[in-house]
């Protein structure tokens, strides 16, 4: 009789453990978001971004001359030109989770962008799409679809023409 009770107890514990493993995990906490706060919806697959254009001054991007690699220099030079657009873009290296970034702009206001291909490709994608007259929301939709992955970075190995 004791063996049967022990078996039933183990079976129940095993069933509970299995059930807990199969239940999808949600973020433990989410703060309420204002209209111009970084985006953070129930869909955690899209990293943080600002839904509206900035209302005040934006942080400066780092000086491109601090970096030796021409592609990185161009990424920072481009970022300085399109800060308002970058402010409204997510960054798919998920630095919002690891570094507390609120948008793609934060990657270039720090050294983070210099060592991250995702940040650099999204930056160039935003630059190219801005040049085509796309809005920040249209650019964001392209980034979310992964269109930034098709950027040809070889054209950024040479200094960009001054505009």
- pLDDT at residue 45, as a whole number: 86
Do 85 and 126 contact (CB within 8 A), yes or no? Answer: yes
Residue 142 lies in a domain: yes
Residue 22 lies in a domain: no
Q: For residue range 79-128, what is the model confidence (pLDDT) as tens digits?
A: 999 999 999 999 999 988 888 899 999 999 999 999 999 999 999 999 99
Q: For residue range 121-139, what is the model confidence (pLDDT) as tens digits?
A: 999 999 999 999 999 999 9
Residue 105 lies in a domain: yes
Residue 83 lies in a domain: yes
Q: What is the number of domains present in the chain?
A: 1
Considering the entire predicted model, what is its pTM? 0.72
From the number of C-beta atoms within 10 Å of its C-beta (0-12, 13-18, 19+), residue 71 rates as middle
Residue 101 lies in a domain: yes
Residue 111 lies in a domain: yes
Range of the domain at 76: 64-156
Residue 29 lies in a domain: no
Query: What average pLDDT does this structure show over 9-15?
Result: 51
Residue 19 lies in a domain: no
Instruction: Report how far residue 14's alpha carbon sits from residue 10's, in angstroms, rounded to the nearest whole number.
Output: 6
């Amino acid at each position: 009789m004791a063996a049967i009770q022990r078996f039933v107890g183990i079976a129940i514990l095993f069933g509970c453990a299995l059930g807990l493993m199969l239940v999808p995990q949600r973020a433990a906490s989410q703060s309420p978001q204002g209209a111009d706060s970084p985006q953070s919806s129930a869909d955690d697959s899209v990293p943080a971004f600002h839904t509206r254009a900035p209302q005040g001054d934006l942080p400066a991007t780092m000086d491109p001359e601090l970096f030796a690699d021409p592609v990185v220099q161009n990424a920072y030079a481009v970022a300085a030109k399109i800060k308002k657009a970058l402010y409204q873009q997510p960054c798919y290296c998920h630095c919002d989770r690891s570094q507390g970034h609120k948008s793609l702009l934060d990657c270039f206001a720090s050294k983070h962008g210099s060592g991250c291909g995702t940040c650099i490709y999204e930056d160039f994608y935003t630059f190219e799409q801005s040049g085509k007259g796309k809005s920040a929301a249209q650019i964001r939709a392209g980034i979310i679809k992964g269109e930034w992955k098709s950027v040809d970075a070889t054209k950024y190995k040479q200094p960009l023409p001054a505009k």
